[in-house]
Amino acid sequence: MAVIRDVMPAFDLLQPESAAEAQKLLEQYGDEAWVMAGGLDSFDWLKDRIKKPKVLVDLSGVSELKGVRVTSDGVEIGAMTTLTEIANHPAIQKDYGVLSQAVALVASPQIRNQGTLGGNVSQDVRCWYYRGGWPCYRAGGNICYADTPVGRNREHAIFGANRCVAVHPSDSVPALIVLDAKFVVQTAKGEQIVDAEDYFVGPEDDITRINMLQPGDLLTAIRIPATWAGAKFYFEKVRDRNVWDFPLMNVASAIKLNGNTIQDIRIAVNAVSPRPMRLRAVEDAVRHNSAAVVLDDTGGAGLAEIAGGIAVVGAVPLQFNGYKIPLMRNLVKRAIVGPLESRTGDAIAVTTAGREAVCRS
Ligand SMILES: Cc1cc2nc3c(=O)[nH]c(=O)nc-3n(C[C@H](O)[C@H](O)[C@H](O)COP(=O)(O)OP(=O)(O)OC[C@H]3O[C@@H](n4cnc5c(N)ncnc54)[C@H](O)[C@@H]3O)c2cc1C
Ligand code: SF4
């Protein structure tokens, strides 16, 4: 399908100065309005003339949505805070290092300087058919072009397919899930606070949306409670190129130790399913075991090895993405072993070309 890339469709630009004013405008214009944060995802849609909103609600002048605030129970990050500010913030680096590590691996410095946390978690899927304007299921049609014998689906889902097989592309989200973050949404009916996992919507619930936001809703902040502050963290992103690139897959984990025993663990992956996935079965398999048992992978029988196998139970590859199964198995194993071996409590970044990451266990 030919896409005309000349000028953006005309829209009215509205520039509120407070979150309340922004939410009111969104409520007033409903599904004719488009929220614009840093504009990196928004401008793609507009310049390709695929989305044609009547009004654009530009949040760049809403100062109350910007910045990191240290609270009595963790930190609150305004939705308009840039990824660079989050990556460099001392309190986040000190206590929630998995998040600074994850956002530091998003795209390029230029994109991180402009892109916001609210935009990063709310960005749409990157499936080229959909973004090219093809009338697929997610666009309201009745076909998935990626899930055909010749469809280009190397980057697509191995879990959660339901007509659509696109994956959620964000790097920040798995870190937010393991930190038990809460998303604060302003709606016409008042404030709603949801767990990070519950912000996201799969195609089985609504194939035209990627998150819970309805017309009129505004994500204002993300709160990270102190629950996991200072835990042992791990973040790894696998991408094709070491310059800016979306994840082929990423994984985040947080581990609390009591002596040598894993008192608690959270682990989440993204880019494997239309919704980010928290791996509860893996967490349950590892929790309350000693680090020695988890690290004992001689002969392939260590618990971390088994946990990697548990992670991929039920995976269904498409024509060209079978590599994602061993990749996920190995990433999950590394996300369990890594924090235990380093014992530093810092996030670990290992950015590896996809093929190497699949082979390396
Ligand atoms: C070349 C390129 C490479 C990239 N690589 C990566 C990568 O490696 N990893 C990664 O995670 N991301 C990547 N991204 C995505 C990029 O990080 C996001 O597009 C960006 O974070 C979006 O943020 P933004 O502030 O520009 O939001 P926008 O583009 O303005 O908004 C994105 C979406 O979120 C909605 N939205 C934004 N803020 C709110 C809010 N407060 N309330 C309600 N809705 C809101 C908008 O309506 C829009 O639908 C890449 C993008 C580009 C262009
Ligand atoms: S994977 Fe989803 S977004 Fe891509 S073509 Fe299929 S239905 Fe559309």
* pLDDT 10s digits, 202-232: 999 999 999 999 999 999 999 999 999 999 9
Question: Contact 250/267 with Cβ under 8 angstroms?
Answer: no
- The atom number, within ligand 1, closest to the CA of 36 reads 30
The H-or-E segment that residue 74 falls in is strand 74-78
- Which protein residue has the closest C-alpha to ligand 1 atom 17? 120
**C-beta of 219 in contact with ligand 1 (< 6 A):** yes
CA proximity to 113, closest of 83, 74, 155: 83
- Which protein residue has the closest C-alpha to ligand 2 atom 2? 164
How far is the centre of ligand 1, averaged over its atoms, from the C-alpha of 343 (Å)? Answer: 33
| Ligand minimally distant from the alpha carbon of residue 222 | 1
By most ligand atoms within 8 Å of CB, the mutation choice from 165, 210, 273, 316 for ligand 2 is 165
Question: Contact 164/137 with Cβ under 8 angstroms?
Answer: yes
Q: Which long-range contacts (CB under 8 A, 24 or more apart) does 132-140 make?
A: 132/1, 132/3, 132/48, 133/1, 133/3, 133/48, 133/50, 134/1, 136/164, 137/163, 137/164, 137/203, 137/207, 138/164, 138/166, 138/203, 138/207, 138/208, 139/208, 140/208
| Ligand minimally distant from the alpha carbon of residue 244 | 1
How far is the centre of ligand 1, averaged over its atoms, from the C-alpha of 289 (Å)? Answer: 39
CA proximity to 266, closest of 196, 360, 350: 196
List of the chain residues with pLDDT < 70: 1-6, 296-301, 343-361
- Which protein residue has the closest C-alpha to ligand 1 atom 33? 123
How far is the centre of ligand 2, averaged over its atoms, from the C-alpha of 135 (Å)? Answer: 9
By most ligand atoms within 8 Å of CB, the mutation choice from 126, 164, 168 for ligand 2 is 164
Residue range 114-166, pLDDT digits in tens: 999 999 999 999 999 999 999 999 999 999 999 998 999 999 999 999 999 99
Burial (0-12, 13-18, 19+ Cβ within 10 Å), 325: middle
Confidence at residue 6, expressed as pLDDT on a 0 to 100 scale: 67
How far is the centre of ligand 2, averaged over its atoms, from the C-alpha of 138 (Å)? Answer: 6
Q: How far is CA 207 from the centre of its chain?
A: 18
How far is the centre of ligand 1, averaged over its atoms, from the C-alpha of 37 (Å)? Answer: 8
Confidence at residue 313, expressed as pLDDT on a 0 to 100 scale: 98
**C-beta of 103 in contact with ligand 1 (< 6 A):** no
**C-beta of 352 in contact with ligand 1 (< 6 A):** no
- The atom number, within ligand 1, closest to the CA of 82 reads 25
Confidence at residue 297, expressed as pLDDT on a 0 to 100 scale: 53
